[in-house]
Structure 1
Amino acid sequence: MDEFASAFQAAFQLIVSLDSNLFEIVSLSLQVSLSAVLIASLIGLPLGAALVLFTFPGKRGLVVMLNALMGLPPVVVGLILYLLLSRSGPLGVLGLLFTPTAMIIAQVILITPIIAALTRQVVQELWSEYREQLMSLGCSPSCAIRTLLWDGRFSLITTVLAGFGRASAEVGAVMIVGGNIDHVTRVMTTAIALEVSKGDLALALGLGIILLSLSLGINATAFLLGEFAKKRIGA
């Protein structure tokens, strides 16, 4: 018990003293995850809406595939990316392996299906409600997509937050393509795994406390926005 108490005390001391090593890791983690969420949102939001408004051959199969991709195994994504980005791989000339860019790509692949699939569900409900009104106004599919995305923005923010939560908690893929290199590609999740294996519980707990705080903050924000959206629709 004394060992754990000492580790927690040291962890809080690292946070309170704004330890440079700890906050360098936190900063890179946020940079990678926020970049991935931004890119995934730019792809996933319009893609999810388009799957509702456009009709084309194979649409149902694409929706099923999109839902299946929500459960992509991170280590498999990391392995495939590693093979593509390695020196002997087809994209090896880009020199992206073991860089933050490779980690961002991995997270984008993992969270884009989540954002797109959840967006499709939100837009499907809105389209059922406003379809006749939008069609009577002569709104084109692209116009309808913009309108529905804007009208469902509060619900869609929770979708984006869900993507961020998934990205910030990722370990397997970013470990493989990032390499967990100190001062280069070491993020919170990979650093926690490494420090625990080294026995440095103070830094691991400090990072764990920050990661847990981020997770709780994200979920609380998503819940409050969801409640606000429900009240707005009810009004």
Structure 2
Amino acid sequence: MPDNVSALDLVLTGDSALFAIVQLALIVSLSAAFAAAAIGIPLGAWIALSSFRGRDAVIVLLNAMMGLPPVVVGLVVYLALSRSGPLGSWGILFTPQAMVIAQTILVTPIVAALSRQTIEDLWLEYRDELTALEVGPLRRVATLVWDARFSLITALLAGFGRAAAEVGAVIIVGGNIEGFTRTMTTAIALETSKGNLPLAIGLGLVLIAIVVIVNALAWAFRRAAERLAG
């Protein structure tokens, strides 16, 4: 890459190396966010609508897992997927699939905890009405999830933001292989250490733009939910 090429030039001219990294990062993060939603929303709804022994401890544990250290998650997934690990036969260590698994583990507690709080608040509001109408458990969940759809989308966006900004776990399980498992965050760390600042800054600009867009969408969905509630 020529020394006189600026970070903005790379972004505006659609540098192939930069956008290949961005594309992979978005695919991995979006896959992890949707996988986390598929697991976390039903889990959060079940906890919100269930009464069982140790429920408070489960909620405390779930909330605590929102702050899981990424490097620890990366290490656990690495050990599980390594040749000597229980899932070594899958042969997916140092692949995008391994990165999706690590990010899903990180994002699922966030989506589940936010979903539980949202659905539990709605359940307290509509419990008497749904009980009087003799709404069954599955329809009850479906009703509350639909009513909370904008807030749940906000939770999903929060999970995607966490996945997109993650670096520790994906380096460990992905290996930061050029053209294969290199994401925006891992590339920024590597290119900065190499002194390739234009590419690092260009990726940083794209990452900031993505974060701003995600937060704008979250704000828009919250506003939509408030208008419907009003």
TM exceeds 0.5? yes
Please list, as runs of the form range in 1=range in 2, the aligned pairs for 1:124-203 lying within 5 A after superposition: 124-203=120-199
Measured at CA, do residues 19 and 94 of structure 1 come closer, stay the same or move farther in structure 2, by a change above 3 Å?
A: same
Deviation string 1:56-96 (CA, Å, 9 cap, x unpaired) is: 22222111110010000000000111111111212111111
Identity %: 57
Match of residue 207 from structure 2: 211
Moved more, 22-31 or 56-65: 56-65
Task: Measure the CA separation in 1 of the matches of 2:150 and 2:4.
Answer: 37
Tell me if the contact between 1:192 and 1:204 (Cα under 8 Å) persists in the aligned partners.
yes
Q: Which AA in structure 2 matches 1:196?
A: T
Residue pairs, 1:1-235, within 5 angstroms: 10-234=6-230
SS in 2 for 1:182: coil
Could you tell me which runs of 5 or more consecutive residues in structure 1 were left unpaired when the two chains were aligned: 1-5
Structure 1, residues 12-52: CA drift from partner, whole Å, max 9, x if none?
11111111111110000010000001110011111111111
Q: 1:212 corresponds to which letter in structure 2? A: I
- Structure 1 CA distance for aligned equivalents of residues 86 and 3 of structure 2: 45
Would you say how many aligned residue pairs link Structure 1 and Structure 2?
229
- The range that moved more, 9-18 or 213-222, is 9-18
**1:153 CA drift (Å):** 0.5
1:98-148 CA distances to partner (integer Å, 9 max, x unpaired)? 000000000000000000000011111110111111111111122111110
**Cα gap change, 1:132 to 1:181, in 2 (>3 Å):** same
1:8 Cα offset (Å)? 10
With 53-62 and 196-205 compared, the bigger mean Cα shift is at 53-62
Q: Which runs of 5+ in 2 are unaligned?
A: none
> Within 2, Cα distance between the matches of 1:216 and 1:32?
19
Q: Over aligned residue pairs, what C-alpha RMSD do you find? A: 1.4
Distance 1:154 1:76 in 2: 32
* CA distance, structure 2, for counterparts of residue 163 and residue 124 of structure 1: 19
Whether the aligned pair in 2 keeps the contact of 1:8 and 1:205 (CA below 8 Å) is no
